[in-house]
Chain A
Amino acid sequence: MIPVLPIAALSDGEMTRVTANGVDLMVCQVAGQIYALADRCSHARQALSNGKLSGFEVRCPLHGARFDVRSGACKSPPATFPVKTFPVTLEGGKVCVAVSADDRPPPPRFGPM
């Protein structure tokens, strides 16, 4: 588990971007629970942390795809697939996330060139 930010830094209904092991994460607090997701829309790689958080749903800033922050489940097009979520624990006043360097996104590619 990697400490990523003080619990006190995040109030309810807020989200922020952190980077751990080279992976960009969106960390948010909703209804007293803290969640961590890949900060990358499954559709076009936009940072969800630049979008809008409404209840348990985060909306992508560019195309408006929505995801449930609890499960990462895709709730609307143009995304089709879920966003990856990561286990969160609270230790010593810190938000800690289980994330490894393997969770870094592959570089954008056009096709099998």
Chain B
Amino acid sequence: MTVYRKIDRFADPQTSKTPCEKAPDPDLGHDLIPKERYTSSEFMKLEWDRLWTKTWLMGAWIGDLKEVGDYVVTKIGKESIVIAKDENGQYNAFYNVCSHRGNQVAYGAQGNTDRFRCAYHLWEYNLRGELVHVPDAETFPQGAPCDKLSIVKLPCDVWGAWVWFSMNPDAEPLRDFLGMIPEHLDPYHMDKMVLVNDVTVEWDCNWKASVDAFNETYHLAGTHPQLMGFIEDYDVQIDTYERHNRYLIPFGSVSTHIADGTIMDDGLRSFLASHGMNPDTYQGDGLGARRALQKYMRENSKKLGFDYSDLNDDQLTDDYHYLIFPNLTWNIHCNSAMLFRQRPHETDPNKMYYDLQNYVMLPAGTPHPERPSHRQFKHGEESIGEVLDQDASNLAMVQAGMNSAGFRGLWISSQELRIRHFHKTVDDYVYRNPIKWLK
């Protein structure tokens, strides 16, 4: 039973560096979202030709590209892309393919090198993908000119803590593509956060089913009932922008779906403790805890070792959750960022790769932990945490539903406006207005 409690917002729109005012809702209608886009090979092909190969994509964390010669190999669909830092400190992106016979030139997920030497015939490329050596070059009567046989380079740029690339040689500048994102997220200083978890899980669903799963809070009561003691799931501000969207989820407050808001459960107590506040010192109830924690963190930030001066009060507790189109969903908190990158399978619309990366801001003076090694496994082989296991457990069954003759299509609520906006943007790329998006 919905109680319709309103949650107070304490962010001051006049001073907040991250814009916090509600954006006007677009009129996107109420149609079913077609289910075929989750299962159709034809749609998958259109997405590849008109979306994946046209947008900017996040490629690598800059923490993995500190030194000259550091490189990361990132995979997207059927492509493998090398991102490398050269002698000039510049980042370069190029296809992971030798110009000779098509072998790959960079091996493993990351490493450091001065040359990419193809293991097949030892053709050599520098950190920009430029061909620098061909063994027995005189045996190519047509020539083996280094300047003509360099690996195809891709647009590459940096924002935040990540290097981005595009498979579209005519891509608009990264900043134009990101639009309002830097203004909204730079105040979090995510470039100062450290990576503490890095896994890829093979999920049996289309990549869009995963994006959808994280773009609404309507599923909290059904899928994550244990979180309702400290997360508001109904009075959530949704904002859609040109391509990207967000919602602002109040944390540290009893869900409005729980009639008795006075309860301080273990989850809420733990939420206070994880932000440095002893829950035993708090005398109020479950609805006042969020504001009490905001005040505590503001007053004690120095003692806690954090600089919250660029964040508004709500950002100290709440989840500012962003979708950076097409495939990045982020739970962003003052001290952490949980990044989900959804990547399409090479060939099968019923499968995807779910990249989970956790970044944390460490208190001042804390030594940085070693970078965790990347692990990849199938859903169910390992837990990725109680909450994400719950999300994951729905998705294979959702995908089965997309393939069912008995399913009509997605019937979307206003709480799921971000899903509608996301699919509208997918449509803009795939169908309606390619000229505008593709330039």
Tell me the A residues contacting B by CB distance below 8 Å. 43-46, 62, 77-81, 107-113
> Could you list 10 examples of A-B contacts with CB < 8 Å?
A80-B393, A108-B227, A108-B230, A108-B267, A109-B271, A110-B227, A110-B231, A110-B271, A111-B333, A111-B358
- Say whether A107 contacts B223, CB under 8 Å: no
Closest CB in chain B relative to A104 CB, distance in Å: 10
- Say whether A45 contacts B226, CB under 8 Å: yes
* A78 to B333 Cα, complex, angstroms: 28
* A79 to B397 Cα, complex, angstroms: 12
Closest CB in chain B relative to A76 CB, distance in Å: 11
- Say whether A108 contacts B393, CB under 8 Å: no
- Say whether A44 contacts B225, CB under 8 Å: yes
Report A-chain residues with C-beta under 8 Å of the C-beta of B271.
109-110, 113
- Say whether A108 contacts B386, CB under 8 Å: yes
Instruction: Count contacts on B: residues with CB < 8 A to the other chain.
Output: 40
* A46 to B225 Cα, complex, angstroms: 9
- Say whether A111 contacts B387, CB under 8 Å: yes
- Encode B175-218 as 1/0 by CB contact (under 8 A) with A: 00000000000000000000011000000000000000000000
Candidates A44, A77, A80, A112; contact of B224 at CB < 8 Å: A44
Q: Which residue on chain B has the smallest CB distance to residue A109?
A: B270
Closest CB in chain A relative to B390 CB, distance in Å: 6
B residues 379-393 in Cβ contact with A at 8 Å = 379-380, 383, 385-387, 389-390, 392-393
Report A-chain residues with C-beta under 8 Å of the C-beta of B225.
44-46, 62
- Say whether B267 contacts A77, CB under 8 Å: no
Report A-chain residues with C-beta under 8 Å of the C-beta of B229.
108
Report A-chain residues with C-beta under 8 Å of the C-beta of B275.
113
Report A-chain residues with C-beta under 8 Å of the C-beta of B396.
77
* A77 to B224 Cα, complex, angstroms: 15
